[in-house]
């Protein structure tokens, strides 16, 4: 009889009321409902109701075994809010993604420092302002720090290089000023570095020559002087290097381009010398050296002639196909 009852219970369990089968952790549910309240009950979170299982709600994911909330992603909504402090009360989050929320304002809230399990922190295409906070190095599990297209200002904290698990850091399209910290040469993992379209100034620290990153984009800043340390035959991880639209000034003849490079954009700088012959050995998808002070022949062969004239125009005296013949 007891066995029969158990069987019946097992059969009925999947259909029983949410309250009975709820897997959601009560503390996580409480934090999420507080977040909803702080956001003034937006339509985006209509599925977040007290009588339902929070593992079933939109914009969140539960861990399969612990049933703790491990991911929160709010995206594509015009709702006006600031980062609610209750976000810090979801201790099992490994992914926090706030994306395309134009009316998300205010700073990156310090409550985020409590989320030490975070692997991905994304705040992008928002109106979040204030500094890149210096508490971020406490998030020691971070693999991706993705903060492009916001209104962040101030200096880049040198302590970010303590994030030993990072494989990507994207601070592009903000209003950051000051230099690139020299500590960025000491990242353990050589993360891809995207710092484009800020107002970064000064010299590129020589220590960055230690990086073996796959992508480096420093374009659209006010960086000066030498960038030759970013090249070198031993940097076989490097695929993409974009230094365009800066104030860089160095002799390109002296650089050794790594064989792995497929994308090289140096347009609008003050780079002089000749194009290195090694360029023609590369499988280039993109090459742009226009608007510099380069001189001498474009090496014949490889993919160099397949690039249009636009890739080479407005230099001091570059010549040869696809530009007019050298005199």
Q: Which residues bind ligand NAG (CB under 6 A)?
A: 78, 80, 103, 212, 234, 236-237
CB 28 → ligand NAG: shortest distance, Å?
27
CA atoms within 13 A on the CB side of 211: 31
CB 285 → ligand NAG: shortest distance, Å?
18
CB 127 → ligand NAG: shortest distance, Å?
9
* Residue closer to ligand NAG, measured from CB, 212 or 224: 212
**What is the rounded (10 degree) CA torsion for 152, 154, 159, 164?**
30
d(Cα 140, Cα 94) in Å, to the nearest integer?
11
* Residue closer to ligand NAG, measured from CB, 118 or 230: 230
Bridge partners (DSSP) listed for residue 262:
none
CB 177 → ligand NAG: shortest distance, Å?
26
* Residue closer to ligand NAG, measured from CB, 69 or 101: 101
CB 26 → ligand NAG: shortest distance, Å?
31
Q: Give yes or no for a contact between 194 and 218, defined as CB atoms under 8 angstroms apart.
A: no
* Residue closer to ligand NAG, measured from CB, 212 or 305: 212
Bridge partners (DSSP) listed for residue 97:
73, 122
CB 234 → ligand NAG: shortest distance, Å?
5
Residue 326, token pair as written in the block:
């050298």
> Do you find a cis peptide bond into 322, omega within 30 degrees of 0?
yes
Q: Give yes or no for a contact between 247 and 219, defined as CB atoms under 8 angstroms apart.
A: no
CB 98 → ligand NAG: shortest distance, Å?
15
* Residue closer to ligand NAG, measured from CB, 78 or 301: 78
| Phi, psi for residue 203 in degrees, rounded to 5 | -90, 155
Pairing of strands 222-225, 175-178: unpaired
* Residue closer to ligand NAG, measured from CB, 32 or 101: 101
Sequence-ordered list of residues with C-beta below 8 angstroms from that of 238, at least 6 positions apart, any chain: 212, 213, 214, 215, 216, 230, 258, 260, 261
d(Cα 100, Cα 107) in Å, to the nearest integer?
16
Indicate the helix (H) or strand (E) that contains 28: helix 26-38
* Residue closer to ligand NAG, measured from CB, 17 or 234: 234
CB 261 → ligand NAG: shortest distance, Å?
12
* Residue closer to ligand NAG, measured from CB, 210 or 280: 210
Sequence-ordered list of residues with C-beta below 8 angstroms from that of 46, at least 6 positions apart, any chain: 58
Terminus-to-terminus CA distance in the chain, angstroms?
102
* Residue closer to ligand NAG, measured from CB, 167 or 224: 167
Bridge partners (DSSP) listed for residue 122:
97, 146
Q: DSSP label at 251? A: B
CB 237 → ligand NAG: shortest distance, Å?
3
């Amino acid at each position: 009889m007891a066995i029969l009852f158990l069987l019946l219970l097992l059969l009925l369990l999947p259909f029983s009321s949410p309250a009975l089968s709820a897997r959601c952790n009560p503390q996580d549910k409480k934090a999420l409902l507080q977040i909803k309240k702080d956001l003034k009950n937006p339509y985006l979170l209509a599925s977040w109701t007290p009588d339902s299982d929070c593992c079933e709600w939109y914009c969140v994911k539960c861990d399969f075994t612990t049933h703790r909330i491990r991911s929160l992603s709010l995206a594509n909504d015009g709702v006006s809010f600031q980062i609610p402090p209750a976000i810090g009360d979801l201790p099992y989050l490994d992914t926090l993604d706030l994306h395309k929320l134009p009316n998300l304002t205010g700073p990156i809230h310090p409550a985020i420092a409590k989320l030490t399990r975070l692997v991905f922190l994304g705040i992008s295409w928002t109106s979040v302002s204030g500094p890149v906070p210096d508490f971020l190095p406490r998030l020691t599990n971070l693999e991706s720090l993705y903060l492009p297209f916001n209104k962040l200002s101030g200096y880049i904290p040198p302590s970010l290089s303590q994030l030993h698990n990072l494989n990507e850091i994207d601070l592009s399209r903000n209003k950051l000023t000051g230099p690139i910290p020299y500590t960025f040469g000491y990242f353990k993992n050589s993360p891809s570095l995207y710092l484009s379209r800020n107002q970064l100034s000064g010299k590129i620290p020589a220590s960055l020559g230690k990086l073996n990153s796959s992508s480096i984009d420093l374009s659209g800043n006010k960086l000066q002087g030498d960038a030759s340390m970013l090249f070198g035959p031993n940097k076989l991880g490097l695929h993409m290097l974009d230094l365009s639209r800066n104030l860089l000034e160095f002799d390109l003849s002296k650089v050794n381009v790594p064989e792995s490079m497929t994308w090289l954009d140096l347009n609008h700088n003050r780079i002089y010398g000749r194009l290195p012959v090694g360029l023609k050995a590369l499988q280039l998808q993109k090459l742009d050296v226009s608007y510099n002070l380069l001189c001498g022949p474009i090496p014949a062969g490889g993919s160099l002639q397949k690039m249009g004239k636009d890739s080479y125009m407005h230099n001091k005296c570059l010549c040869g196909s696809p530009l007019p013949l050298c005199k």
